[in-house]
Amino acid sequence: MVRFRNRQTLQIGARTIVLLLGLGLASLLAGCVGGGAAAGTATATAGPVASLATVESIEIIVQETFPVQVSVVARGMWPNSCTTIDRVEQRRTQAIFRVTLATLERHDVACPETPVPFEESVALDVLGLPAGIYIVEVNNVEDTFTLQKDNVPDVGNAVISGRIWHDLCAVSGEGGVEASPSPGCRPADGGGYQANGVLQPGEPGLGGIIVTLGPGMCPASGLAVTVTDGDGFYLFGGLKAGAYCVMIDPAQEQNASLLVPGQWTYSPDPGGWANLTLIPGENKADVNFGWDYQFLPVPESGEPGCTDAGTFVADLSVPDDTVVAPGQVFTKTWQLRNDGGCTWGPGYSLVFIGGEPMGGLETQPLAGVTAPGEILELSVTLVAPLEPGSYRSEWKLGNARGILFGLGPEGNEPFWVQIVVSNPTS
């Protein structure tokens, strides 16, 4: 608590006005009622007389809280115990608070002409004021106080939002044909091309990516976790002012299945994170991250002219017509057997081909190596649509040359995830 004092004496009119706070009504009546005017007692005449209090000193008290609270205590003397506060008025013009203490002195009863000390406390309306020096004037007695910082309450409504997107770069040309990069490419250090780190129209978002929020400087986590929606968007709301760290860890298990192998082409700070400082109520949007997948070599075949083929083995999670809540994040896992002659490895991908995408990536690299005859466990993280209903998402595999293949004797049948979205209360 900080106190500011300034003592002055100001005579207003012909008399010095005094008050004793805490003096009970019974005491006032006892001092003001009598059978006649004794020695030292004013004779009853007319009714109450309005005036301004004579303020001798003021003290400003600053409560060291946030938001800051400030009050001014005025002290002086009433001429007698029949004088009371009539009204307290407060107004502010820019950096000057003017407080008026008005009194009523009863003249319809006899009161001893004995001065009585008074003390009146007034809370100042300082909420929302910027930092600075302020003047307080109570019946022409002045003092000052200082707000060290903006006195704006932190209501916890700041927001951080952004998008994680697939930064596309495609390069065509092989067998002696000059490489032709797509518009989203730029020359890479050491030769070749890489994605340009610019979010351009038509570049898709990456759904199902885990994003963490932490306090202070990056790396930090522990405050909140969210998952990007089907368009790659994420949001952290209800935040107070302060420093925060937004991070995406590609090595995290769920993220690794969606991002690896690849690299950041854009992040607000190196390392795939963002250091942010929020002011109260700020909406920090477009905290975006760009990611591109690594170009991989064509895998070696088990024998020249090998074929790609697969067979469905089992649903390890989310069997057909599983009921999920709107917006629920879930992971679908299939078991597939490699029944072809090619080894599934670097360059092979899971590819969305139709139906409801449910926030999944259009392409997702396969992890590990699956030789002919071996079983592959293949997972994808999805987000249920918000509207109730039945939804189906269909997928195939793609090899390193971009050729799609599916299951069955002809190698053209997709595999799928099928869910029923239902509100828990419906």
Q: Per the structure block, which two tokens stand in for 91? A: 């107004």
Structure tokens at 155: 């209501």
Type of residue found at 10? L
Supply φ then ψ for residue 384, to 5 degrees.
Answer: -65, 140
Q: Which residue has the tokens 């890479």?
A: 188
CA-to-CA distance for 228 and 250, rounded, in angstroms? 14
Beta pairing partners, 336: 312, 376
Please give the angle made by the CA atoms of 214, 216 and 217, to the nearest 5 degrees: 100
- The DSSP code for 41 is E
> b/e per residue, 250-266, with b = 16+ CB within 10 A?
beeebbebbbeebbbbb
- The per-residue pLDDT for 365 is 83
Distance CA 273, CA 217 (A): 10
- Joined tokens for residue 131: 């930092």
Report the DSSP beta bridge partners of residue 6: 58
pLDDT recorded at residue 8:
44
* Alpha-carbon distances of 22 from 19, 29, 74, rounded to whole Å: 9, 14, 15
Contact status, residue 237 vs residue 206, Cβ threshold 8 Å: no
Tokens coding 152: 């704006």
- Single-letter amino acid, residue 210: I
CA 79-80-85 angle, 5° bins = 85
pLDDT of residue 139: 94
Distance, in Å, from the CA atom of 377 to the CA atom of 202, rounded to the nearest integer, reads 31
Cα 269 to Cα 289: distance, rounded to the nearest angstrom: 10
Single pTM value for the model: 0.41
3-state secondary structure of 166: strand
- Walk me through the domains of the chain, giving residue ranges and CATH numbers: 2-147 (no CATH), 158-293 (2.60.40.10), 310-421 (2.60.40.10)
Identify the residue whose tokens are 């991070």: 247
pLDDT score of 136: 97
| Peptide bond preceding 187 in cis form (omega within 30 of 0) | no
pLDDT of the chain, 426 residues: tens digit per residue: 666 655 443 333 333 333 333 333 334 334 444 444 444 444 455 667 888 999 999 999 998 776 788 999 999 998 888 888 889 999 999 999 999 999 988 877 778 888 889 999 999 999 889 999 999 999 999 999 999 888 877 777 899 999 999 888 776 544 444 556 777 888 877 777 788 999 988 788 888 899 999 999 999 999 999 999 888 899 999 999 899 999 999 988 888 888 888 889 999 998 789 999 998 888 999 999 999 876 543 444 444 457 888 999 999 999 999 999 998 999 999 999 998 888 888 778 888 888 999 987 778 888 778 888 889 999 999 999 999 999 999 999 988 766 888 888 777 889 999 999 998 765
Yes or no: say if 351 and 398 are a contact pair by the CB < 8 Å rule: yes
Helix, strand, coil percentages for the chain (3-state, nearest 5): 5, 50, 50
Residue 60, strand partner residues: 4, 72
CB atoms within 10 A of CB 391: 19
3-state secondary structure of 31: helix
